[in-house]
Structure 1
Amino acid sequence: MLHINDLVYRIGGRVLLDGATAHIPAGQRVGLVGRNGTGKSTLLRLILNETAPDGGDVTVRPRASVGRVAQEAPAGDDTLLDCVLAADKERAALLADLPRAEDEADAHRLAEIHERLNAIDAHSAPARAASILSGLGFSAEAQARPVRDFSGGWRMRVALAAALFARPDLLLLDEPTNHLDLEATIWLENYLAAYPGTLIIVSHDRDLLNKVCQRILHLDKGKLVSYMGDYDDFARMRREMMELREKQAVKQEARRAHLQSFVDRFRAKATKARQAQSRLKMLEKMEPVIPIVEDKGIQFDFPQPEELAPPLIQVDGGTAGYDGKPVLRRLNFRIDMDDRIALLGANGNGKSTLAKIITGRLALMEGTLKASTKLRVGYFAQHQTEELNPLGTPLQHMAKLMPGVNDTKVRAHLGRFGFGAQLADNRVEQLSGGEKARLLIALMTHDAPHVLVLDEPTNHLDIDTRDALIEALNVFEGAVVLISHDPHLVELVADRLWLVADGGVKPFDGDMQDYRRLLLDQAREARREAKADARAANGADEAPAQSAANRKEDRRAAAELRQKLAPLKKQAQAAEKKMEKLTAQKDALEAKLADPKLYDGPADKVSALQIELGEVVKQLEETEMAWLEASEAYEEAMAAGA
């Protein structure tokens, strides 16, 4: 399907691609990964023939269609459905030609048009387009509205829907989840995993790459290196390769030192001169093993806030909305210093409204909100990039928030988020998307907030930088509230899930896998109901009332089973978390007891550590037993319910 041959591309004197080569067969789903700025998007433009290479070439199979998401968001008075249907150029052209052929009574042309429409399955196109739009979060009512009614982010979803609907032989996607919520992201994962054509995805979404890709192309230092498998397979193989090369380099250096030692010792001795000369030639011919060296990644270092008495924020009987219209009702929640909360729910359900309540940007219409008088809240949202002065530098933006603070301290805070001396003095308009996101995070933490509210913080961050953010959030001593379409981030940071739906907020009993299953169940139920409605409309449903009753009974039974299983699952999860903490304590105590310096000190300190270790081991054994019992009870109840 695609051949990339010794591709060379330079920009501003910098070599982005240096002999990059790859072959992608038809039907393969490929993830293109690499750090920000390595040239992934440039490679897609070269494949699309939008720019010319400085060397090498790109060859696409003849007559193969190549598609991508339009760079400009669609606009105008066309409905969403019509906008997506128009993406199938052949279908649109055939339908446009049909009235003309009918007017001219051209029987031969009419037969050709109808035959081709049947061949491309044109009659099912509206249903297929509606299904894609629905998966990306558009209701049937929304699909009938004009594109101009929607914001930029939603329009980009329409552009994505159009690209998927067109079903090109080769589909190129550049960060397709950036404008999606978690629900739409999960739908997209399943859709792309069954895509019938060839697929190249540039993404920093680890879960998407794992779910969809059969192969990973790593763009690093201008070269393309292929790894079979998903992203986790790539990460493991690359790590193993780095370790192997490092060992080989160490061994070779030892061998080189040994040969050089012999040469130095015996070169001047007549009896050993020939042997020394032989070893000198071996040294000259020895190809150095160059270890794979990773570029130094970005690190995050959140300033730690002083501790405040709980709760930091408490809302009782809250109602919130806009222009007198409630969006969220019956809000009752509290946030403490050690909370790690992720907000789940489709876009438009009120997650951002809840974030504004927590950050003090939206007052309650009813109810009470109590917060510590010393509370500081940091808020991150992608739209804030539009509020940055493009001509200002990161240093100037930060200095404005830290009046009276000397230049050294301002630069030190920027340095916590990867802004060295040179980058701190660059204009904002020169920064990449990832650098702007890091600047926003630096700005929001300038006063060491007690609560961090992060609304899609990983857009434009590469995988290594996302991992650095996860690590920093996990050592942060304040509270964290996340809104994210990245399940990997949610799973590794949040320990409480709140579901924002049906005009309210409630705890979600379960983990991200449970939430995925819930969404898939809801999607299947929606499809069944849509089919039932279609059959009823066509007069083919003999007992619609009975079917509705059966579906209602099935939902009731499923809800009862989830309710029955929730306490058991919660027990197992609590025991598992406790086991992790106890294991960490045990490892720390064993490390202390293994330190020889400990035994040079007081004997009672050694005894105290040994007693503490014994107690931790005992608790760990009891917790393991509790976990086993809870897990077995959960599995038995699950089997009985099934």
Structure 2
Amino acid sequence: MTVLAIRNLTLRIAGRALLDDADLAVDPGRRVGLVGRNGAGKSTLLRAVSGRIAPDGGEIRLAARARLGYVAQEAPAGPLSLLDTVLEADAERAALLAEAERGPDPARLGEIHERLLAIGADSAPARAATVLAGLGFDAEAQARPVGEFSGGWRMRVALARALFLEPDLLLLDEPTNHLDLEAAMWLEGWLQRFSGAALLVSHDRFLLDRCVHAIAHLDRGKLTLYPGGFGEFTRIRAERQAQQAAQNERVLAQRAHMQAFVDRFRAKATKARQAQSRLKALERLPPIEAVVEDAPTRFAFPEPAALPPPVLSLRRAAAGYDGRPVLRGLDLRLDQDDRVALLGANGNGKSTLAKVLAGRLPLMAGEQHRAPRLRVGYFAQHQAEELDPDGTPLSHMQAALPKATETQCRAQLARFGLDADRAETAVASCSGGEKARLLLALCTRDAPQLLILDEPTNHLDIDARDALVRALGDYAGAVLLITHDPHLVELVADRLWLVADGTARPFEGDLDEYRALLAERSRPEAARQEAVPTRRDERRERAEARGALAPLRERLKRVETTLAALGKEAATIDEALSDPRLYARDNPGLLARATARRAAIAREVEALEAEWLELQERLEDAA
């Protein structure tokens, strides 16, 4: 028995078929990831399953008495507290409690209490509080009216309502879009323990690899089910495409051989019968099925000019709002080859730090050094709300680059997949992914040396996320990432900064160690005290050892940066010294200075290389 059966489903939007005679079945307890390119129809399918839109053909059947949970696109609002807003999602519990308060006859009251006991009504507030806490709301926040929170936080409340119900079928549409990394990790654990069925739309590879039993691929109106997570899906799909291509080659070769025989012997009486036989065999050969491969998505950042290190640094800095500091004691440095990801829960100050580094928030105290001619590209999701809905990507780029030609503006948009047609589409008609591409094009228009990306992958499909990773790998500037996407962090970042306890500092560890730290913090105090002391001591010793090695790693990085800069300077001087025109000039002082500087660089390089070897040996001995 299936909890959801989709048969011969057809869905159309504005006359365009998103699903055409599609089939899918979801069994009880099975979690299925729904993937496909932006605009393929994934969200539309969820709305159809939830009953919000009617199909144009076929049927969608839910199991009898199955409870459905769906996170609507509209964020809840109103005077109710967060806790009451979540409890309100259980309509049966709310109705029974209201009926009990009206004082029905004793027999009915007994039935009500029996049913309340059966659905766990007494434990509901505790369960709701646990879900809210996992999504980042402390006890104080849970008592506040939901209308006081921003749209992103209210969408978390909408997610909490769906999770609290623990339905038979849970429909989730990009559930991690409004979550920080900590809340996304909590959701991952919750889904792994969830006993019901789920249909999950997500572009988060990590979530799809760890939380689903199968992948449903929506492509060209059809749904194809693949077993396993996203990694297994990509492997099987690639194998099937390769097999289809090989089969096509065999059929083509067989056709060519038979056709050559027919063309050669059709006119000969002795071979006519055989030629006719070959023609009939040609007709019986299977048709050639084209291997349809999507055109790869490509992003490209403009090449930034090189700057001397550091491009930006903070010393004893503090930042905040209205005279109240959010972050203190900031001692941080960024070089042009740095790739840094910020860790820490929402509300700890990640966006505050990003605004300081972007030059959009002045320091309250301390020092800030910015390299001359430093350009910063700042991407933030809220900027999508500032776009002119009546404008086009082209008009936005022309306003941002008033001195550029239309061709130059179109070329910058094309770097992020906004082709000629999409460049002239009204922003109001653009998808979330297209708006994100426009924001990326706008924030990199001046070829910045520092790129600050605050949740850049929200609304980008998996292919676009891969394109972003490749583009960042080729980018010659510094990158600061704020993201809930562990896949992006692991592929892009080579350093982690933890924003917590009112400051930001380097985190000497990887994402797995950070997950372990969060898991340890989330355990009840009694459980932590019962843990084996030697294991706790070992973790503390490892953390202390990493902390002791941090200055060595930092110095090693500075030495490598200085060596690279000296190497470039030496190459420039060598090129000048090899130019005969230098010696023909009547300027012996210029030649003497160039020769002296080249000798000085050689001495500096020799000393730094010796220091580099010593630092490397000390780190290896301590490992």
CA distance in 1 between counterparts of 2:470 and 2:327 reads 32
Paired residues of 2:251 and 2:286 also in contact (CA < 8 A): no
Q: Are residues 1:12 and 2:14 paired? A: yes
Give deviations 1:174-225, integer Å, cap 9, x for gaps. Answer: 0011110000000000101111111000000111111110011000111110
Q: Which secondary structure does the structure 2 equivalent of 1:404 belong to?
A: coil
Q: How many residue pairs end up in the alignment?
A: 560
Deviation track 1:238-263 (CA, whole Å, cap 9, x = no partner) reads 11111111111112111111111111
For 1:262, the equivalent position in structure 2 comes to 261
Q: What TM-score, normalized by structure 2, do the two folds share?
A: 0.86
Change over 3 Å in CA distance of 1:554–1:355 after alignment to 2? farther
CA-CA distance at 1:74 after TM superposition: 1.3
Offset at residue 167 of structure 1 (A): 1.4
User: CA–CA distance in 2 between the matches of 1:316 and 1:569?
Assistant: 21
Alignment of structure 1 residues 344-355 onto 2, 5 Å: 344-355=343-354
Residues 1:566 and 2:546 are matched in the alignment: yes
CA positional deviation for 1:567: 7.3
Distance 1:164 1:425, change over 3 A: same
| Matches for 1:365-404 after TM superposition, within 5 Å | 365-404=364-403
Aligned to 2:581: none
- The gaps in structure 1 that reach 5 residues or longer are 533-546, 578-622, 635-642
1:454-480, Cα deviation, whole Å (9 max, x unpaired):
000000000011000000001100000
What is the Cα deviation at residue 403 of structure 1? 1.6
Which of residues 42, 47, 50 in structure 2 aligns to 1:45? 47
Say yes or no: does 1:249 pair with 2:229: no
Q: Equivalents in 1 of 2:549, 2:244: separation in Å?
A: 44
Give how far 1:562 is off: 3.1
Alpha-carbon distance between aligned partners in 2 of 1:116 and 1:276, rounded to the nearest angstrom:
80
Per-residue Cα deviation, 1:470-503 (whole angstroms, up to 9, x for no partner): 0000110000000000000000000000000000
Q: Look up the equivalent residue of 1:411 and give its one-letter code.
A: R
Structure 1 runs (4+) deviating above 4 angstroms are 547-556, 567-571
Q: Structure 2 matches for 1:175-254, cutoff 5 A? A: 175-254=174-253
Q: Which moved more, 1:112-121 or 1:349-358?
A: 112-121
Stretch deviating more after TM superposition (398-407 or 327-336):
398-407
| C-alpha distance in structure 1 between counterparts of 2:397 and 2:153, whole Å | 32
CA contact (8 A) 1:210 1:231 kept: yes
Matched-pair contact (CA < 8 Å) for 1:510–1:570: no
TM-score, normalised with respect to structure 1: 0.84
CA distance in 2, matches of 1:324, 1:276: 92
Does structure 2 retain, via aligned residues, the 8 Å contact 1:6–1:56? yes
Greater shift, 297-306 or 491-500, is seen at 297-306
SS at match of 1:367: strand
Which segment is superposed worse, 110-119 or 482-491? 110-119
Paired letter, 2:88: A
CA contact (8 A) 1:377 1:451 kept: yes
CA distance in 2, matches of 1:259, 1:68: 57
Q: Which residue in the other structure is 1:593 paired with?
A: none
SS in 2 for 1:77: coil
- 2:316 corresponds to: 317
Deviation at 1:49, TM superposition (A): 2.1
User: 2:36 maps to what in 1?
Assistant: 34
Question: 1:316 touches 1:332 (CA, 8 Å); kept in 2?
Answer: yes
Matches for 1:237-636 after TM superposition, within 5 Å: 237-524=236-523, 528-529=524-525, 557=537, 560-564=540-544, 566=546
Q: 1:27 to 1:552 in 2, by over 3 A?
A: closer
- Shift, 1:416, TM fit: 0.9
In the TM superposition, residue 427 of structure 1 has moved relative to its aligned partner by: 1.0
User: How far apart, in 2, do the equivalents of 1:13 and 1:346 lie?
Assistant: 44
Identical counterparts, % of pairs: 58
| Structure 1 vs Structure 2 CA RMSD | 2.5
Which letter maps to 2:542?
A: R
Offset at 1:568?
11
Give the secondary structure class of the aligned counterpart of 2:270: coil
Contact 1:569–1:630 at 8 Å: present in 2 too?
A: no
State the match for 1:119 in structure 2.
Answer: 118
1:166 aligns with 2:165: yes
Cα deviation per residue 1:582-630 (whole Å; 9 max; x = unaligned)? xxxxxxxxxxxxxxxxxxxxxxxxxxxxxxxxxxxxxxxxx9xx99x97
Deviation at 1:44, TM superposition (A): 1.0
Q: CA deviation at 1:19?
A: 1.0
Which segment is superposed worse, 450-459 or 292-301?
292-301
Structure 1 letter corresponding to 2:457? T
Cα contact 1:510–1:569 (8 A) shared by 2: no
Letter in 2 for 1:325: R
- Give distance in 2, aligned partners of 1:82 and 1:222: 41
What is the aligned partner in structure 2 of residue 639 from structure 1? none
How far apart are 1:413 and its partner, in Å? 1.2
Contact kept in structure 1, 2:96 and 2:112, CA below 8 Å: yes
SS at match of 1:123: coil
1:11 Cα deviation after fit: 2.1
**Equivalent-residue separation in structure 2 for 1:561 and 1:271 (angstroms):** 91
Relative to structure 1, is the Cα distance of residues 407 and 121 closer, same or farther in structure 2, using a 3 angstrom cutoff? same
Q: CA deviation at 1:408?
A: 1.2
2: CA distance, partners of 1:569 / 1:366: 29
Distance in 1 (alpha carbons) for counterparts of 2:234 and 2:545? 35
Q: Would the aligned equivalents of 1:450 and 1:478 in 2 still touch at CA under 8 Å?
A: yes
Correspondence for 1:150: 149
Q: Is the 8 A contact 2:298 2:467 kept in 1?
A: yes
Report how far residue 63 of structure 1 moved. Answer: 1.4
Measure, in 1, the Cα distance between the counterparts of 2:340 and 2:182. 17
Shift of 1:71: 2.5
SS in 1 for 2:326: strand
Would the aligned equivalents of 2:520 and 2:528 in 1 still touch at CA under 8 Å? no
2: CA distance, partners of 1:227 / 1:70: 27
